[in-house]
Structure 1
Amino acid sequence: MNILAKTRKITGENSIVTMEKVMIGGVKQSIMIRGENRDNPVLLMVHGGPGQSEIYLSHMLNGPLEKHFTIVNWDQRGAAKSYSMDVKPEHMTLAQLHADGEEVIQYVRNKLNKPQEKFYLHGHSFGTILGMLMAKKYPEYFHAYIGTAQVVGLLDNLITSYDWTMKKAKELGNQKAIDELEQIGRPPFNNFSKGLWKYSVWLAKFGGKMYNSQGTEIFKGIFSAPEYSLLDKLKFFRGSFFSVKHLHQELLQTNLKEIVTSIDIPVYFFLGKHDYSAPHALAHEYFQLLKAPSKELIWFEKSGHMPQFEESSRYVEELSNITKRQ
């Protein structure tokens, strides 16, 4: 486990590798930009959680993507490298987060010396709620939106996911799982943070998160991430708990079917056929209702919640193909 953060190099005269703390929305937030050719399209990654930065996965997942895109990873306020005592709980709102997102776009445009550059916007898990809100409010900044493991509404997602997990526990005759799931109660749980953690453990064990895996490889990525110092690793966990604590009430009352019924840019959903963390059936239903200039749903038959890991080659191919359709 590295003690200090390190920057992985990319060779090439027109490559870009930066990791900077930038004043965004009145607090310092970390932004990483990487790509083999800065003239490639910009892909803005909006991470999930809330509060679960995906910079820690960059060394595992993004290498092939760096050939096709200039990738922007942003630790949202309160998450990992952007977690600090300066982040006030009262500012942990969706409105503040997507306002931060606009500032990130302007920062990246200036950094690349491309003041009119449009981005491809990618959300994962919780990041698909924030991503859709950003795409709805700021369509002029984006070529297209890509939602991987698209979430529709936190409460509906959790209820569907919990019920699937309980059903599997009963099918398998796992009395320990049944007892623990009954104890935490159906979402929004008797105690939200405790319930979310306990149900998630059983969801993973029963194959509802990853296809043929419990996701330990992904979890271990936190400890091997070169961009994270030892302090950053501690902040990852603190930031995750902090973000869930202060965002979950608003998220429980947020449903995209009610607030984003149409969008003014092309939309792509990347859905794993075995995803019961962000249940694919709910995302499919939402996709059918959503109005957009064009839209496409791409199924990943051997994936759960993380097609970018479970079917990485196809994921890279599908993402790069999107740039050819615009």
Structure 2
Amino acid sequence: MSFGFSYIGLIWLVMLLVPNFIWTRNKPDEYEKYVVNENKVLLTLERVGEFIVTPVALIFSDFNFKGFHFWSVVLLISFLCMVLYEIFWIRYFRSQKTMKDFYKGILGIPVAGATLPVIAFFLLGIYGGNILMLIGSIILGIGHIGIHRAHRKEVYGPKKKRNLIFRILLGILKTICILVLVAIFGSFTFFIAWRNINQLSHFIRYKNGINEQIYVKLNDQEEYVSIIGESTDNPVIISLHGGPGSPTGFIDYCWQDYLTDEYTIISWDERGCGRSYFRNDDIDPDNETLTFDAQLSDLDALVDYACDRFNKDQVIILGHSYGTMLGSRYVLAHPEKVSAYIGVGQCVNEKDYYGETYSYEDALKIAKERGDDTSKMEEAYAKFSSDMSVVNLMNLRILVSPYHPQTVTKDVSTLAALSSPIAGVDDVRWYMIQIEASMGGDRYGKLVEKPLGSYMMNFNVLDTQEVYQVPVLFLSGSCDWICPVGLVEEYADSITAPVVEVRLIDGCGHSPQGQLPEEFSNEIKDFLNMFK
């Protein structure tokens, strides 16, 4: 929730209130006699709902137009409800202004004068992700619609009874529709409430520190970063996501919140993906500027930004999966700017997806020892070897993964995404591009895999005998077969550094930070505390 003036809320309120002011001089002649019969509980709920909805519509900028995207449909439907509401009033003012005129439905919507604005403001609450508006609209709806349904029943009298079978079928249909709507909108309300609670929690927790989501000029582009921490005096960790092109900044609070008492953490949507892509898609829609070296240069600019802003000489680099390629290359090139390196799911040998081959060969061995039919797995590997597409990769992993089970099966990432205090439209838009790729779409491949694929497919540091000038922690799930633990341990044995440790989080896979976030963060704290 973001405080600020909402011009959309003002427009909706004007559309609501102006007809009502006109109506006060054009009431049906018999209206007052129905008022005395109004249910006092419903009347109280109506007043409480009005008390909540009116100021909330004005003081939260979440409701303002955010550009055209899929959520715009919700705002459009809300607006159409208000337009129908105006049509309802125009029709009434041009009628004989009787009670029956006042309670005529419109497009099959009963008591439209009460129902339409409630729906409109409820949808506005969904669009803005604001639980106060949702709660206010629900309370208003119960009271306002309840009162006018009672009036309408008095005006028109009881409905004529229809055939029993017809009534049963109609009742079943209505029940199903109500349950579906309650499930859908109840889910929206639940996760919006959870998101708002997380927003409030972060606001309180970081009020004396930092909690920002901003765009920073890194070389020739403005790129997105999220920065959180309880004190800006703390050491700075720059977190590099995996993929390539799989930003997780809107999810990573689920583990970063366990570190922010001692560290300021910067999450970055790397060049060419996520919010950084959409920020620059008008000048670079095809990611023509995206290369590994460009991302490495951006990282250097980000490190300089962090050091300048927080008055630091060095930062801690933490990479996950593909982020370990960026992170490890940067640490080796700029040791003077880095105090420690943490590789989570460290990439070691990705030449022609060697890690997948390593995992496949181990799974194939286990399958043959068990006497299982391996024909489908071998066929999937052959297909992947000839066409290393995302779809073929996912199909191979589906067949290999049963032979590498994770004993830790929980993962908080999905719930963290749904209740994220900072998730935005562009996060979802980019995620849909990734989902499209898993279904055979080619946009992700053109935007990310094509420009970065050549570097990735030739990345092999296993036999390089690299020398790090900073402490190094390799932190993996013990059941990680995407960046296999065996390769990580071989790499750790081959490098030179002041301190090199390999720590495994038992039972976890490639993303232990999403499976056991507290344990993951404690391992990082324990390692870094050695050098304080």
User: What is the TM-score with the length of structure 1 in the denominator?
Assistant: 0.86
Shift of 1:70: 0.4
Question: Are the equivalent residues in 2 in contact too, given 1:266–1:292 (CA < 8 A)?
Answer: yes
Matching of residue 128 in structure 1 with residue 324 in structure 2: yes
**Structure 2 CA distance for aligned equivalents of residues 136 and 246 of structure 1:** 23
For residue 137 of structure 1, the aligned residue among 314, 319, 333 is 333
For residue 318 of structure 1, the aligned residue among 523, 526, 530 is 523
For residue 93 of structure 1, the aligned residue among 291, 301, 313 is 291
* Cα deviation digits, residues 161-195 of structure 1 (max 9, x gap): 233344566677876x8526614526544242222
Corresponding residue number in structure 1 for 2:267: 73
For residue 262 of structure 1, the aligned residue among 467, 488, 492 is 467
**Structure 2 CA distance for aligned equivalents of residues 72 and 222 of structure 1:** 18
* Cα deviation digits, residues 40-86 of structure 1 (max 9, x gap): 11111111111111213223222111112101100101221112322
Alignment of 1:119-268 (within 5 A): 119-154=315-350, 155-167=353-365, 178-179=375-376, 182-183=379-380, 185=382, 188-204=385-401, 207=404, 210-213=406-409, 217-219=412-414, 221-238=416-433, 241=444, 242-258=447-463, 261-268=466-473
**After the TM superposition, which of the residue ranges 63-72 and 165-174 deviates more from structure 2?**
165-174
Change in 2 beyond 3 A, CA 1:29/1:167: farther
Alignment of 1:4-153 (within 5 A): 8-11=202-205, 14-84=208-278, 85=281, 86=284, 88-112=286-310, 114=311, 116-153=312-349
> Structure 2 regions of 5+ residues with no counterpart?
1-70, 72-125, 130-195, 438-443
**Structure 2 CA distance for aligned equivalents of residues 66 and 264 of structure 1:** 26
Change in 2 beyond 3 A, CA 1:137/1:307: same
Question: Which residue identity does 2:320 align to in structure 1?
Answer: H
Superposed CA RMSD: 2.9
**Structure 2 CA distance for aligned equivalents of residues 289 and 118 of structure 1:** 26
Question: Are the equivalent residues in 2 in contact too, given 1:211–1:310 (CA < 8 A)?
Answer: no
Change in 2 beyond 3 A, CA 1:43/1:281: same
Percent identity, please.
Answer: 24
Corresponding residue number in structure 1 for 2:86: none
For residue 303 of structure 1, the aligned residue among 501, 508, 525 is 508
SS at 1:31 equivalent: strand
Shift of 1:280: 0.3
**After the TM superposition, which of the residue ranges 160-169 and 277-286 deviates more from structure 2?**
160-169
Change in 2 beyond 3 A, CA 1:188/1:309: same
**After the TM superposition, which of the residue ranges 47-56 and 226-235 deviates more from structure 2?**
226-235
Question: Are the equivalent residues in 1 in contact too, given 2:227–2:264 (CA < 8 A)?
Answer: yes
Return the structure number with greater relative CO, CA threshold 8 A, min gap 6: 1
SS at 1:56 equivalent: coil
SS at 2:205 equivalent: coil
* Cα deviation digits, residues 283-307 of structure 1 (max 9, x gap): 1001000111221111222222122
> Structure 1 regions of 5+ residues with no counterpart?
none
Question: Which residue identity does 1:11 align to in structure 2?
Answer: R
Shift of 1:93: 2.0
Question: Which residue identity does 2:331 align to in structure 1?
Answer: A
**Structure 1 CA distance for aligned equivalents of residues 380 and 454 of structure 2:** 21
Change in 2 beyond 3 A, CA 1:320/1:100: same
Question: Are the equivalent residues in 1 in contact too, given 2:274–2:426 (CA < 8 A)?
Answer: no
SS at 1:323 equivalent: helix
SS at 1:83 equivalent: helix
User: What is the TM-score with the length of structure 2 in the denominator?
Assistant: 0.55
Corresponding residue number in structure 1 for 2:482: 277
Shift of 1:13: 5.4
Shift of 1:225: 2.9
Change in 2 beyond 3 A, CA 1:324/1:243: same
Return the structure number with greater helix share. 2
SS at 1:238 equivalent: helix
SS at 1:293 equivalent: coil
* Cα deviation digits, residues 136-157 of structure 1 (max 9, x gap): 1111111110111111021221
Question: Are the equivalent residues in 2 in contact too, given 1:46–1:131 (CA < 8 A)?
Answer: yes
SS at 1:67 equivalent: coil
Change in 2 beyond 3 A, CA 1:47/1:172: farther
Change in 2 beyond 3 A, CA 1:186/1:128: farther
Shift of 1:219: 4.5
Question: Are the equivalent residues in 2 in contact too, given 1:79–1:236 (CA < 8 A)?
Answer: no
Return the structure number with greater strand share. 1
**Structure 1 CA distance for aligned equivalents of residues 127 and 421 of structure 2:** 9
* Cα deviation digits, residues 240-288 of structure 1 (max 9, x gap): 8232343122201111225572111111111222111110000100100
Shift of 1:103: 0.7
